[in-house]
Amino acid sequence: MNDTERGRRRLSPDGPSLGRTVVDDLRRTRWQRDYLREFRDLYLFYLDDESRQRLAGMGRIRRAFSLLGWLLKSLLLKLSPARRLMLLVAFVFAVLGWTEFAAGTLQFDADLRPWGFVLLLLVLMLELKDKLLARDEIEIARQVQMALLPRSHPRLPGWSVWSYSRPANDVGGDLVDYIDLDGFRHGVLLADVAGKGLGAALLSAKLQATLRALLPEAVSLADLGSRVNDILYRDGLDNRYATLFLAELEYDSGQVRYLNAGHNPPFLVRHDRVERLPASSLPLGMLGAANYEEGGSRLEPGDLLIAYSDGLTEAVGPDGEEFGVDRVAGMVESLRDLSPPLAGRRILDAVEAFLGDARPDDDLSLIVVRMEPGPRS
């Protein structure tokens, strides 16, 4: 589909009218929440950490003028040269306003402000066009990523499994997957690629393909970690790595082998205590020729294994406070007698209530595994 076809699709006469759309926007908008969020997003996007720290040390008046100047400078530097020039001319026209021109014996007056407005509107239309085209591509990427995720939870003899994944943006770097191994074992994994957005999603897809190809033939999870690390380190990007928790569940048995490559320690909720499965290895793709260790544990009937990405513990509420590991640890004991879907939903409800009107800043994923009563080896 070319740009003209995309434009025709958006300008279809069968779409909603502009007046009705504006009225609906006015009804749905919560002014203080929505616009404070928009201003905060602008502040975080256009100013780096150093600029924000410098602003914090200024007085109120100086801070206001500095903030306005830095925002305008950052805006101009992010535009293409042609659009930057148009916007600068628009600013000049707005400042000059009504101006008199003289050329020899000819003299005439002109109001430049409407032309400044036209140039500003033109820059806005061009930027919006780029955004809509990029959104179409990201929507396709989101559909591809969703197609790669499990469509249902597997039914494993002796186990109940439930998972959830939600990107902070249209696409994300979290990976949840199930891998059938040899008819009596199943791999359950949760990975978290550093960063968010399209770049993290692409690396997540590469990690998924690599794990699906190597895990069924791996002689051990330690060997699997080393091989995956070498591939990501060789083919990855600077400052792009992935944490991984991979559990290998043996059917009709409580036996679990696992690999924790730099991931958040999952909770193991037993009938009388809560344990953690700490990371024993570096994240994948961080350093070349790294060594990885395989862990093991045995679950009793009713025990829960809860793995999560840092989008859970690092969720930030409206007051700037993080949800935190301690808050998760304080609630997992109450999940002991619940099924994986109910336990998972209890955690998600708690973090949603904590977030309130705040927008999630990171991808959030969750896996809950329960050992069910039944035959055991």
Instruction: Examine the domain organization and report whether 135 and 157 are in the same domain.
Output: no
191 is in which domain, residue-wise?
153-371
Mean pLDDT taken over the chain: 85
pLDDT of residue 12: 55
Residue 246: CATH number of its domain? 3.60.40.10
The whole-model pTM stands at 0.72
Tens digit of each residue's pLDDT (9 = 90 or more) over 194-240: 877 778 888 888 999 999 999 999 999 999 999 999 999 988 666 78
Instruction: Examine the domain organization and report whether 131 and 160 are in the same domain.
Output: no
Residues of the chain with pLDDT under 50: 1-9, 376-377
Looking at 112, 145, 178, which one is the last position of a domain?
A: 145
Looking at 124, 145, 166, which one is the last position of a domain?
A: 145
281 bridge partner residues: 261
Paired tokens of 53: 């720290």
Instruction: Examine the domain organization and report whether 131 and 233 are in the same domain.
Output: no
CA atoms within 13 A on the CB side of 111: 4
Instruction: Examine the domain organization and report whether 118 and 203 are in the same domain.
Output: no
pLDDT of residue 8: 42
Tens digit of each residue's pLDDT (9 = 90 or more) over 80-136: 999 999 999 998 888 888 777 666 666 667 888 888 899 999 999 998 888 888 878
247 bridge partner residues: 188, 258
**Structural domain count, the chain:** 2
C-alpha distances in Å from residue 228, one per residue of 172, 239, 282: 20, 17, 12
pLDDT of residue 195: 78
Instruction: Examine the domain organization and report whether 113 and 134 are in the same domain.
Output: yes
On whether residue 31 sits in a domain, the answer given is: yes
Looking at 116, 145, 174, which one is the last position of a domain?
A: 145
pLDDT of residue 240: 81
pLDDT of residue 256: 94
Instruction: Examine the domain organization and report whether 198 and 328 are in the same domain.
Output: yes
On whether residue 376 sits in a domain, the answer given is: no
CA 284 to CA 226: how far, in whole Å?
8
C-alpha distances in Å from residue 200, one per residue of 18, 151, 181, 286, 342: 36, 21, 27, 15, 30
pLDDT of residue 30: 63
On whether residue 209 sits in a domain, the answer given is: yes
